[in-house]
Amino acid sequence: MSGTELAIVLVAVVIGAIAKAVTGMGLPLIVIPIASLFIDVNDAIVVIAFPNLLANAYLAGRERTSYNETRDLPTLAIAGVIGAVAGTLLLVNIPERPLVIAVIVAIVGYVVLFFAHPELRIGPERSKRFAPAVGGIAGVFQGAVGISGPIVGSWIHSYRLPRGAHIFSVTSLFFITGLAQLIVLIATGELSGRVVATLLSTKLSRRSSGITVAPSAATRAVPRAASVRVWPTSMSPRATRTSTRSPLR
């Protein structure tokens, strides 16, 4: 990876880290497609794996008290780990072209689903039945292309959980599947030659996320009505009172 290519990746990391600090998603979803325009998609996926893991660990840990309000999380996590191991093995053993196609499919699929079914709701009985399949598919995408946000985000959003439970569910699943991915990448030697880029990306990601750690005046001024449109009406009163602040402080 040349100096110019590394600079492009780091700029993408800054943009993605800020997006993740605000929404809980966005780091790999932004970095990997942008970086893939200039470097091998394999390099982009591997370099972003560790900084994304740390970001999700922090965000999930901060919302851990919301665990009891989550749904199907153990099932999604177990299936996700199995899928992530299989997906990462695909990453290190198949040509780049299928990976690029998978990245495009993931992003387009998310956009289509978001606009086609913005009010999608899935009840407990149905979600329990489909959770293993969804977790497994999300894990495969996380391992193979480093992007499971379109699947995890859409699925958890359909649960209409309270704000804290939503954030904890999404980021903990990202963390667990990302950890499985990173372990396989280390075991197969995929980090070799990419350590410097990984460490620089991690440092920039942490610093960039810190920009939006504290809620800004503009964020506090967002009307309450806007928050109601983003977060489900089943939110607890306490969550509703705090929803005008940045969800990921």
Q: What is the pLDDT at residue 107?
A: 73
Q: Could you tell me the CA-to-CA distances from 13 to 43, 45, 51, 102, 204 in Å, in that order? A: 13, 12, 9, 21, 7
Q: Report the candidate in 119, 131, 23 with the shortest Cα–Cα distance to residue 72.
A: 131
Q: What is the pLDDT at residue 88?
A: 94
**Predicted confidence band of residue 235 (pLDDT cuts 50, 70, 90):** very low
**Predicted confidence band of residue 49 (pLDDT cuts 50, 70, 90):** confident
Contacts of 24 (CB under 8 A, 6+ apart): 59, 167, 170, 171, 247, 248
pLDDT digits (tens, 9 = 90+) for 124-164: 999 999 999 999 999 999 998 888 888 898 899 899 999 99
Is it the case that residue 227 has pLDDT exceeding 80? Answer: no
Secondary structure of 104-118 in HEC code, one letter for each residue: HHHHHHHHHHHHHCC
Q: Could you tell me the CA-to-CA distances from 137 to 85, 90, 144, 177, 189 in Å, in that order? A: 11, 13, 11, 11, 24
pTM of the model: 0.73
Any idea where the domains of the chain sit in the sequence? 3-242
Mean pLDDT of the chain: 76
pLDDT digits (tens, 9 = 90+) for 62-113: 999 999 999 999 999 999 999 999 999 998 888 877 877 877 777 787 677 7
pLDDT digits (tens, 9 = 90+) for 164-197: 999 999 999 999 999 999 999 999 988 777 665 6
Q: Which of 46-55, 76-85, 236-245 has the weakest average pLDDT?
A: 236-245
Share of the chain above pLDDT 90, in %: 31
How many residues can be counted in the chain?
Answer: 249
Share of the chain above pLDDT 70, in %: 71
